[in-house]
Amino acid sequence: MSKLKITQVKSIIKRPQRQKDTLKALGLRKINHSVVHESSPAIMGMIRKVDHLIKVEEV
């Protein structure tokens, strides 16, 4: 499985609670914070829900 570097690029202010919870579940806390996750169906589903708030790179 490949690794994905996920970086938050937009604020979660005035976003629905579900999107805030998804970013928290991914481990993102603030703008420009990055985390690395293994690519899995669960992670890909979370990425699709908040793709307008994050940037994804393959590591």
Distance CA 3, CA 58 (A): 6
Domain count within the chain: 1
Global pTM? 0.92
- Per-residue confidence (pLDDT) for residue 1, from 0 to 100: 77
CA 11 to CA 58: how far, in whole Å?
22
User: Average pLDDT of the chain?
Assistant: 97
**Domain carrying residue 13:** 3-58
Percentage of residues in the chain having pLDDT higher than 90: 98
Where does residue 15 fall: left (phi above 0), alpha (psi -120 to 50 degrees), or beta otherwise?
A: beta
CATH of the domain at 20: 3.30.1390.20
